[in-house]
Amino acid sequence: MPHSPETCPPEEVFDKRAVRRDFARAAATYDRHAALQRRVAAEVAELYRGLAPTHAACVLDLGCGTGYVGRDLMAGTAAPEAVVALDLAHPMTRRGRVPGHPAVTGDADRLPFVPGAFDAVVSSLTLQWANDLRAALRGIVATLRPGGLLIASTLLAGTLRELDTALRRTGGAGRAGPFLETSDAEAALASAGLAGYECRTVLEEDEAPGPMAVLRDLKGLGAVAKGPDRARGLRGRRHLDSLCRAYRETTERPAGPVPVTWHVGYLVGWKPF
């Protein structure tokens, strides 16, 4: 998920303790700010229904959040026998599990499962938090049985471009992101050894009542800075006012709603037999 003004530079890795802490805190507020997350999760579930094997015994919901994908999978056609929910933040794991199905608190960068445990892995807007997407995808593929399916959504370069430009104009310590280029996501899929892989991209533009609403949504989602230098970001009312003015100047919206751009990548591939 994207960062708020307290962003970390692209060369920094994510502090997983901060990721765990911030999403644990956001578990109670997440659903109030998750319009995009609901839409993308629904698309992940729809892709699964179109591509999944006719009978899946066990599916991993990687980075389950508050459970949008898992609930969609179980409510639709081609529902698997079991959905295992996994999230780094334990409060999210509790909220995101499908009732009566297993849940595990764990890290997508170091999955705690035996090889070949799952018929499919689904994941929605989680892999942008991986410190190394190539390594994370290799770990995911290891948990798939031969012929198993991966469907994952992530955020790519161009996401929150309005906020990114406003941060640069106001001299912020960081930026919105970092988000991988589409070519990097495709290279990560290739390096994971997936067959028939592709990265489908969709550019979505939402509207928010104003720049402060954008920042409040990011905070409510737990999408604040995760790098070791996160305290160096923009701070204080004066800086926030300056950032909001720059956001409006960037979008040429002096008043009223402002655009919010998301560049969503849908990663699809199969583990070879």
> pLDDT at position 148, please?
96
Q: What is the 3-state secondary structure (H, E, C) of 114-126?
A: CCCCEEEEEEECC
Average confidence (pLDDT) over 208-234: 79
Tell me how many degrees the CA angle 65-99-153 measures, rounded to the nearest 5.
30
Catalogue the E-assigned strands of 125-194. Answer: 144-155
> pLDDT at position 235, please?
57
Q: Tell me: the pLDDT tens digits for 57-97?
A: 999 999 999 999 999 999 978 899 999 999 999 999 999 99
pTM for the whole structure: 0.91
Domains in the chain: ranges and CATH: 16-270 (3.40.50.150)
- Rounded Cα distance between 119 and 142, Å, is 11
Instruction: Assess whether pLDDT exceeds 90 at residue 172.
Output: no
Comparing 36-50, 178-192, 215-229, the range with the smallest average pLDDT is 215-229
- Three-state DSSP state, 92: helix
What is the pLDDT confidence band of residue 226, given thresholds at 50, 70 and 90? low
Kind and range of the H or E element at 32? Answer: none
Is residue 157 within 8 A of residue 176, CB to CB? The reply is no
Number of other residues whose CB lies within 10 A of the CB of residue 252: 8
Q: How confident is the prediction for the chain on average, in pLDDT?
A: 91
Q: How far is CA 5 from the centre of its chain?
A: 18
Encoded amino acid at 130, one letter: A
Comparing 51-55, 171-175, 194-198, the range with the smallest average pLDDT is 171-175
Is residue 267 within 8 A of residue 153, CB to CB? The reply is yes
> pLDDT at position 178, please?
85
Comparing 2-6, 35-39, 88-92, 228-232, the range with the smallest average pLDDT is 2-6
Q: Determine phi and psi for 156, rounding to 5 degrees.
A: -115, 170
